[in-house]
Amino acid sequence: MRPLAIVGNLSRDLVGGGPPRVGGAPFYAGRALRVLGRPAVVVTKCAAIDRPELLPPLVALGVPVRSRGGESTATFAYEYDGDIRRMRVEALGDPWTEEDARVWVAETLGHAEWVHVGALARSDFSPGTLATLAGRGRMLSLDGQGLVRPARTGPLELDADFDRDVLKYVSILKLAEEEAEVLAPGLDEEALSALGVAEVVVTLGSRGAAVLSGGRLERVVARPVAGKIDPTGAGDAFAAAYLAARSEGHAPLSSARRATALVAGLLSARLR
């Protein structure tokens, strides 16, 4: 089984006024891959000064990690009220350049055929960088945060002012419900199909997920998780579990069911 890969910036997350903690797709996707026991590689960046703080929790997951230091670490402050999230962008992470993708990232990806790009903001991955990552026939999954989050600090306000060329290189688009609402006039087959990506997965929080594939939209119901939960990183865990299932030959709907079940298990474990 060839490994899949997760590429993206680590972040410093400030949740509910608590102490800073590691975040970003590399960490939360890595947690999901550890639970699944799925061979994978994580490729990530953060500011060089933050590496001693942020890298050890990621490395401790046991998933192979290749990292580089940079100038800036993405930093976010979160507040939750059930499925409703309020978020402030304190700092943006460094962009991933075409040279990054062509040289050290390509060396790390090796023969990985399935790659999830955990974009945190619109500035993280350009069309050229995604085109390079999608080379060698790779199936590229993209987090929709990289489409709707403007490259600016302050209270998060989503918009659809992104370069449509980004989607040329995307095989699977993973969206949160609020992101889908910005990009499409409705959560239906026609609206999601108009994005031009053959496979679109929309996470719906406690209500499960919706999957568009082959022009057909289907729903997945989530198992209820009792108690007050911290959903930070749930979308990243879902994306990793979904891509792992797809890479193993499962159909989109089956993959979404598996990912939804894994996320429910991870969230339940946080309550113990």
Query: Which positions are annotated as active-site residues?
Result: 236
And the tokens for 243? 């891509």
Measured CA to CA, the distance from residue 265 to residue 133 in angstroms comes to 31
Q: Which of these, 214, 233, 221, 206, lies nearest to 257 by C-alpha position?
A: 221
And the tokens for 78? 């979160």
Provide DSSP, 197-221: -SEEEEE-GGG-EEEEETTEEEEEP
Sort strands 216-220 and 209-213 into parallel, antiparallel or unpaired.
Answer: antiparallel
And the tokens for 164? 């449509």
User: Could you tell me if 92 and 125 are in contact, meaning their C-beta atoms sit under 8 angstroms apart?
Assistant: no
Measured CA to CA, the distance from residue 24 to residue 146 in angstroms comes to 12
User: Could you tell me if 204 and 210 are in contact, meaning their C-beta atoms sit under 8 angstroms apart?
Assistant: yes
- What is the DSSP code (8-state) at residue 21? E
- Helix-then-strand count for the chain, H and E: 10, 14
Cβ count within 10 A of residue 173 = 27
